[in-house]
Structure 1
């Protein structure tokens, strides 16, 4: 009973806070209402032709679904830009006969986050994620699924750095 009374007393104080915390841990100041995501150009040596669009749309979706922010047509209160800097496969688990049993697909992204409401919170950082798959599997058959998983991990990490104070 004492806890309930304490919570009732604390509620007006919390309502005056200038930061909104969502259920997924995002803490977004109340004066930040819009976000913009620029097209992430693919500057990797090997270019997956759909990765640029897939990543850009994935980041937009993560922001829309994980926060109260709306996407701005131009530049929002916060802005994400950058480029895809790596898209590589490398053999793993080399056996005695010099044959790889697993291969790793790695995607690297450079991200610039600009917070126009609080410029001190702006940053630039690199992110990478990978998925391993059996080498005997043809990458073209599973590439779309691997890329979707990697994009989901990357966008989650970027979102967390921007809005969850990681």
Structure 2
């Protein structure tokens, strides 16, 4: 009886009356376009929500809608050696997200989420790209999930 009075709740921390969600395709509009990253990000966000909630993934008329663009993909030197060479590089990815909640429009927002991956300057980006993308997408998708569904 105590849990019944608390409203909709799950042990993943999701507190919503929504039953469905959709993730529209996140186009890659970054100045540097990494082929396939748009599909990978869209799928990563869908997979996270499917795996951490009981929400049903649909292609239209969802209670919760996620959409946006990949807006930045850049590599920058992070630290230098004694002879002024880069010792470490940082790959940063930023995603602009628009979230719509049909049940509670006051929760709608548009926000940028970013994360990075540091790697040795001696390594080529192509050799660390997949590992970097996995780490970055895991963090960004979890941040989006927390912002939209985790009402701790």
CA shift for structure 1 position 138: 1.3
Residue 63 of structure 2 is aligned to residue 77 of structure 1: yes
Q: Contact 1:36/1:74 (CA < 8 Å) preserved in 2?
A: yes
Looking at structure 1, the residues matched to 31 and 60 of structure 2 have their Cα atoms a distance apart, in angstroms, of 30
Partner residue in 2 for 1:25: 13
Looking at structure 1, the residues matched to 142 and 6 of structure 2 have their Cα atoms a distance apart, in angstroms, of 26
CA shift for structure 1 position 13: 3.6
Match of 1:19, SS state, is coil
CA deviation map 1:99-122 (0-9, x unaligned) = 001000000001011001111111
Partner residue in 2 for 1:160: 146
Looking at structure 2, the residues matched to 99 and 82 of structure 1 have their Cα atoms a distance apart, in angstroms, of 36
In proportion to residue count, which structure has more helix? 1
Partner residue in 2 for 1:63: 49
Looking at structure 2, the residues matched to 146 and 159 of structure 1 have their Cα atoms a distance apart, in angstroms, of 20
- RMSD of aligned C-alpha atoms? 1.3
Q: Contact 2:13/2:151 (CA < 8 Å) preserved in 1?
A: no
CA shift for structure 1 position 55: 0.5
Q: Contact 2:80/2:87 (CA < 8 Å) preserved in 1?
A: yes
Q: Which one scores higher on RCO, CA 8 angstroms, separation ≥ 6?
A: 2
Task: Choose 1 or 2 for highest CA Rg.
Answer: 1
Q: Which runs of 4+ in 1 moved over 6 A?
A: none
Looking at structure 2, the residues matched to 35 and 72 of structure 1 have their Cα atoms a distance apart, in angstroms, of 6
Unaligned runs of 5+ in 2: none
Q: Contact 2:88/2:118 (CA < 8 Å) preserved in 1?
A: yes
Partner residue in 2 for 1:124: 110
Aligned pairs, how many? 152
Looking at structure 1, the residues matched to 70 and 111 of structure 2 have their Cα atoms a distance apart, in angstroms, of 12
Match of 2:68, SS state, is strand
Q: Contact 2:27/2:69 (CA < 8 Å) preserved in 1?
A: yes
For residue 72 of structure 2, the aligned residue among 76, 81, 86 is 86
CA shift for structure 1 position 126: 0.7
Unaligned runs of 5+ in 1: 1-11
CA deviation map 1:38-75 (0-9, x unaligned) = 00000100001111001000000010001010101213
Match of 1:20, SS state, is coil
Q: Contact 1:34/1:71 (CA < 8 Å) preserved in 2?
A: yes
